[in-house]
């Protein structure tokens, strides 16, 4: 079975802190994704990566950056966390662009 793991289930950070969210997949998938999920807004794509060191902006990239140095690992970085980045963050991977996406359990980030 595909397994997508995220570094933390719950995270509390202060405004202005730099935050790293890590995602690892174990199925040699080409594509990896970062979403955030907010009540009433559903899942929104922040960034995705289709290959090592490659990245593309999603719908809401502002305030975020990403890093993919190894195929299995995709990191989401909040350079200076703000309270409006309090959300559930979900990582996903897929073998190729049109394939089904496999999701991790999510990280609930609270910025105070």
Partner 1 sequence: DAKTTQPTSMDCAEGRAANLPCNHSTISGNEYVYWYRQIHSQGPQYIIHGLKNNETNEMASLIITEDRKSSTLILPHATLRDTAVYYCIVRVWDSNYQLIWGAGTKLIIKP
Contact set with partner 1 (CB under 8 A) = 4, 31, 33, 40, 42-45, 48, 50, 56, 58-59, 90-92, 94, 96-98, 100-106
- C-beta closer to partner 1: residue 9 or 14: 9
Is residue 25 within 8 A of residue 4, CB to CB? The reply is yes
Instruction: Give whichever of 77 and 95 is closer to partner 1, judged by the CB atom.
Output: 95
Cα separation, 41 vs 46, whole angstroms:
13
Of 17 and 61, nearer to partner 1 (C-beta) is 61
Residue 103 Cβ vs partner 1, minimum distance, rounded to whole Å: 3
The C-alpha atoms of residue 49 and residue 32 are separated, in whole angstroms, by 5
The edge-to-edge listing of strands for the beta sheet with 19-25 is 4-6, 19-25, 73-78, 65-70
Nearest distance from C-beta of residue 98 to partner 1, angstroms? 4
Q: Which of 105, 77, 78 is nearest to 90 (CA)?
A: 105
CB 55 within 8 A of CB 69: no
Least distance from partner 1 to the Cβ atom of residue 65, Å: 18
Pick the closer one to partner 1 by CB: 81 or 91: 91
CB of 18 to partner 1, least distance (A): 24
């Amino acid at each position: 079975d595909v397994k997508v793991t995220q570094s933390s289930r719950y995270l509390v950070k202060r405004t202005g802190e730099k935050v790293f969210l890590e995602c690892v997949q174990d199925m040699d998938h080409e594509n990896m994704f970062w979403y955030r999920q907010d009540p009433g807004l559903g899942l929104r794509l922040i960034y995705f990566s289709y290959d090592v060191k490659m990245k593309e902006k999603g719908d809401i990239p502002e305030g975020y950056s990403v890093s993919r140095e190894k195929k299995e690992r995709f990191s989401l970085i909040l350079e200076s966390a703000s309270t409006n980045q309090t959300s559930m963050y979900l990582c996903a991977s897929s073998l190729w662009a049109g394939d089904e996406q496999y999701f991790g359990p999510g990280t609930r980030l609270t910025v105070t």
